[in-house]
Chains A and B, each alone.
Chain A
Amino acid sequence: MIPLLSVSDLSVGFGRKAEANEVVRGVSFDLADGQTLAIVGESGSGKSVTALSINRLVDFGGGKITGGSIRLRRGDGGVLDLAGAAEPQLTKIRGAEIGMIFQEPMTSLNPVLSIGTQIAESFRLHRGLTGRQAIAAAKDALDRVRIPDAARRLKYTPNQLSGGMLQRVMIATALACNPRLLIADEPTTALDVTVQAQIMALLAELKRETDMSMIFITHDIGLVAGIADKVMVMQNGQAVEQGELNQILDHPRHAYTQHLLHAVPHFASGKATRSDGRREKAPDAEPALKVDGLAVRYPVRSGLFGRATGAVHAVDGVDFELMPGETLAIVGESGSGKSTTARAVLGLVRSTRGSFSASVRKAAAGQSALPIQMVFQNPYASLNPRLTIESILAEPVIASGGRVNAETRARMTTLLKRVGLPENSLERYPHEFSGGQRQRLCIARALMLNPSVVVLDEAVSALDVSVQARVLELLVDLQREFGLAYLFISHDMAVVERIAHRIAVIYAGQIVEIGDAKSVLSAPRHAYTKKLIAAVPTIERRRQRFELDTRQVPSLVRPLGFEPGPAKWDVFGSDHRVRIEG
């Protein structure tokens, strides 16, 4: 039998001289009916370009297929080489025989059209349905992706739905006309981990129902274990290794696959936590940062004169202590209040209530020591492109009233060397550095004032997995060397496991569980923590099935003057507390 899709020796280039500028070189693979192929690679590996070449969307991004063939067995049994197909032929295949879903559900749906209209469009285009029939078909499609209350939601525009819901809408649209091939381009990367688990479960279930084939593109080889039959690993535009799932995961042959599997953080349910915690050794030490009853609220205004009628309790009654040389990871999903907590600690958002005390370290002579510094998520946006590295590093010194002198310059050179950047970096500009190098610069900038606490807000989330691993190593080394305390905000449990001594799980603005990292990750007690940890993909849990769950996060809007009751805690072991649901 001819495979559904047979790609052979595919090359794709960009720009006017596409042949000279190839980003995919000689990729070949076959895909049988009902099979799932995972394409794994980091950014720039050519995995997305390969996928976009199959339905030829790559043409619209300035790409050009420079060689090879993409043979698709069509519904009527005929075989078509998509690499050479003309645009009118392709519009009949896109959506009807090949569906596609994308990374960012928030931006991948048209903001001005209702979701009903957008799903119905597929039926109009390929099934010839019109008017009420098309809308009725759209409702069935929404039901199929388990969106509750589908009839009413058809009229919603994308801004009225959450990211997870929108990705379901995308799936409903892509699968509307029962394509035999679904291309999923990092469909869960932009989503929270529990939502990711839901989407993965849905995809697996729909695949069983329809027997379609799937190409699943991801940078996370851990995610592959749950869904793929075959895996293809890409690096620098080439397929370096491909084979059956178990063979790739258990016996990788290529060095790069081995690197992806072993050097990169993978979640290991608390088996890979750090063992250099300081709590037990110095139980009476002065905390580097103590946060007591922190609350951040935003008024909700309404009416003609904009009176406050309620408040969003973004963070409510958060307290913790952070010891020198210790990492406290704050984990939670988007909207849980973890970043707000970090910003409030730095005074970047005004806290409604609560106190902090941070111990100021004995500063070296001539140095002003601000106790807390921050490293942000996006290293591309957090460095001023018009300043040289020297000016960027001088900024915290100037801002705290210091003067830039020979001593400051000496510190700059030492720090740059320490974070692993070349010595001639000072005169250069941010655009001359890669993402990982920029994040190293941000770390150097944070360390300029010799702080006692560094707040790392999703500091490695924007980096490629192998870069991520190296920056994490650097952070651990710096922590040991300077006795830094880290407040590490992250949604990524695999990263947290590598760096945290203690973990605080935050849900709906409150800490629900806090304690020793190993204890929290290996024996979670709170229902939410359990759900969160169960949703993290791991290499060990293969072809895992998730229950579909459409519960919403509780609303954070409270009536004016609302005060939550005092927190009650269950205590497990020496350092592990869980909030009792009230």
Chain B
Amino acid sequence: MTYLLRRLAVFPLVLIGVSIVVFVAIRMVPGDAITAMLGTEAGLLTPQQRAALAAYFGIDQPWFVQYGRWLLGLLHGDLGISTTYGRPVLDVILERFPLTLELALLSMLIALVVGVPAGVFAATRNEKLSDLGVRIAAMIGQSTPNFVLALLIIYTLSAGFGVLPAMGEFAPLWQDPLRNLGQLILPAITLGFAFAASVTRISRSAMLDVLSDDYVRTARSKGASARSVIWRHALPNALIPVVTLSGIEFGYLLGGAVIVEQIYALPGLGRLVLDAILQRDYALVQGCVLFIAFNFMIVNLLVDLAYAALDPRIRLGEN
């Protein structure tokens, strides 16, 4: 419990650090919000009108004043107004987030369901032909760029079976689960493919290490069957690196998957951030980055809690 409090106490510090870096970085990019907002029409503005608009959005002040105001707003739960959408930043983010979260969860599910058994299988057939097959497949999986895979999947489905991936307006899970899954399953497979390949490789090597450990020999000396040795004695000990890897990958996916979202026309967090940067929507970029950093920290915390749950030797909060 004290451990949890201590971990949570660090969160605000990290978030402030992240926000300062983003705040300064995005203002160093040439171009300004008003030009980006109005496009060619920006040229028609008089300097007075331009100044008035800048004052309206608060972007006429020096950056530290802007930052101070923004931070003050943040303390009240206000991330500012998006210049592109004309709505509160938090609302815009929360609208996009369920899709990203769902996509990340689905990809991880696919990766674990495929990757762990494949890795275990390969480890128990070390240096045999089937092990080689799994290792080659994993290598291909890791080195295929996901846009290539996405296009291959779409092409095979449409040219081979005359089926098109479900497109159109995105349907949230709670409104139309079937349509929602139809829209997300292919992007999840696309993202889960490389993820599964990494999980396979790391499960295989972790299992190989564990299978030569003394307690595995002890289990065999007790007369445990090969299956019990693998699933009951070895696997729980091999899961730590798998959890580490999954946590990192999952954290990245929570930041959005720009290319896959683009190809499957999904309104996820990745495209939101990209558009916000292109539009110089300062408030939205800051909000998104802060949100993504926060998610990453939560995921890291969950990973550490998972370690402690998996291995009784790890006691949290001890140096």
Which residues on A are within 8 Å of B, measured CB to CB? 55, 57, 60, 87, 91-96, 99-100, 102, 104, 107-113, 121-122, 125-126, 157, 159, 170, 173-174, 301, 303-304
Q: Which one, A57, A87, A92, A125, contacts B217 given CB within 8 A?
A: A57
Q: Which one, B221, B226, B237, contacts A112 given CB within 8 A?
A: B237
Interface assignment of B49: CB less than 8 Å from any CB of chain A: no
CB B218 to nearest CB in A, in angstroms, measures 5
- Check B223 against A94 for contact (C-beta < 8 Å): yes
- Check A304 against B5 for contact (C-beta < 8 Å): yes
List 21 A–B pairs whose Cβ atoms lie within 8 Å, in order of A's numbering.
A55-B221, A57-B217, A94-B222, A95-B221, A99-B221, A102-B217, A102-B218, A107-B215, A108-B217, A109-B218, A110-B215, A110-B218, A110-B219, A121-B222, A121-B224, A125-B223, A126-B223, A157-B312, A159-B312, A173-B222, A304-B2
C-alpha gap A380/B310 in the complex (Å): 33
Residues in A neighbouring B215, C-beta threshold 8 A: 107-111
C-alpha gap A99/B218 in the complex (Å): 10
- Check A112 against B5 for contact (C-beta < 8 Å): no
Residues in A neighbouring B17, C-beta threshold 8 A: none
- The 0/1 profile, CB within 8 Å of A marked 1, for residues 303-318 of chain B is 0000000111100000
Knowing A104-B214, A107-B213, A110-B215, say if A92 contacts B313 (CB, 8 Å). Answer: no
CB A552 to nearest CB in B, in angstroms, measures 21
Task: Across the interface, name the chain A residue whose C-beta is closest to B319.
Answer: A301
Knowing A60-B220, A102-B217, say if A111 contacts B311 (CB, 8 Å). Answer: yes
C-alpha gap A104/B225 in the complex (Å): 23
Interface positions of B from 192 to 240, Cβ below 8 Å from A: 213-215, 217-226, 233, 236-237
Task: Across the interface, name the chain A residue whose C-beta is closest to B219.
Answer: A110
Residues in A neighbouring B311, C-beta threshold 8 A: 111-112
Residue of A60, A108, A112, A121 ringed by the most chain B CB atoms within 10 A: A112
Which residues on B are within 8 Å of A, measured CB to CB? 2, 5-6, 213-215, 217-226, 233, 236-237, 310-313, 319
Knowing A110-B215, A110-B237, say if A94 contacts B220 (CB, 8 Å). Answer: yes
Residues in B neighbouring A99, C-beta threshold 8 A: 221
- Check A95 against B222 for contact (C-beta < 8 Å): yes
- Check B214 against A102 for contact (C-beta < 8 Å): yes
Given contacts A95-B221, A100-B221, could you give 19 more A-B pairs where the C-beta distance is less than 8 Å? Answer: A60-B220, A87-B226, A92-B223, A94-B223, A102-B214, A102-B218, A109-B215, A110-B215, A110-B218, A110-B219, A110-B237, A111-B237, A112-B237, A112-B312, A121-B219, A125-B222, A301-B319, A303-B2, A304-B5
- Check A112 against B224 for contact (C-beta < 8 Å): no
C-alpha gap A173/B215 in the complex (Å): 12
Residues in B neighbouring A107, C-beta threshold 8 A: 213-215
CB A312 to nearest CB in B, in angstroms, measures 14
- Check B233 against A110 for contact (C-beta < 8 Å): yes
A-B contact count (CB 8 A): 78
- Check A91 against B223 for contact (C-beta < 8 Å): yes
Residue of B215, B224, B225 ringed by the most chain A CB atoms within 10 A: B215
Task: Across the interface, name the chain A residue whose C-beta is closest to B318.
Answer: A301
Residues in A neighbouring B213, C-beta threshold 8 A: 107
Task: Across the interface, name the chain B residue whose C-beta is closest to A56.
Answer: B220
C-alpha gap A170/B221 in the complex (Å): 11
Task: Across the interface, name the chain A residue whose C-beta is closest to B234.
Answer: A110
Residues in B neighbouring A93, C-beta threshold 8 A: 223
Residues in A neighbouring B313, C-beta threshold 8 A: 111, 157, 159
CB A69 to nearest CB in B, in angstroms, measures 21
C-alpha gap A173/B222 in the complex (Å): 8
C-alpha gap A215/B311 in the complex (Å): 34
Task: Across the interface, name the chain A residue whose C-beta is closest to B3.
Answer: A304
Residues in A neighbouring B223, C-beta threshold 8 A: 91-96, 122, 125-126
- Check B217 against A112 for contact (C-beta < 8 Å): no
- Check B221 against A57 for contact (C-beta < 8 Å): yes
C-alpha gap A482/B255 in the complex (Å): 68
Kindly list the 5 A-B residue pairs having the minimum CB-CB distance in the complex, ordered from nearest. A95-B223, A94-B223, A95-B222, A157-B312, A100-B221
Task: Across the interface, name the chain A residue whose C-beta is closest to B229.
Answer: A60
Residues in A neighbouring B226, C-beta threshold 8 A: 87
CB A158 to nearest CB in B, in angstroms, measures 8
Residues in B neighbouring A111, C-beta threshold 8 A: 215, 237, 311-313
CB A233 to nearest CB in B, in angstroms, measures 25
Residues in A neighbouring B218, C-beta threshold 8 A: 100, 102, 108-110, 170, 173
Residues in A neighbouring B236, C-beta threshold 8 A: 112-113
Task: Across the interface, name the chain A residue whose C-beta is closest to B240.
Answer: A112
C-alpha gap A55/B221 in the complex (Å): 8
CB B30 to nearest CB in A, in angstroms, measures 46
Task: Across the interface, name the chain A residue whose C-beta is closest to B211.
Answer: A60
- Check A57 against B220 for contact (C-beta < 8 Å): yes
Residue of A60, A93, A104, A303 ringed by the most chain B CB atoms within 10 A: A60
C-alpha gap A104/B218 in the complex (Å): 11
C-alpha gap A126/B311 in the complex (Å): 28
Residues in A neighbouring B214, C-beta threshold 8 A: 102, 104, 107-108
CB A270 to nearest CB in B, in angstroms, measures 37
C-alpha gap A316/B273 in the complex (Å): 61
CB B307 to nearest CB in A, in angstroms, measures 11
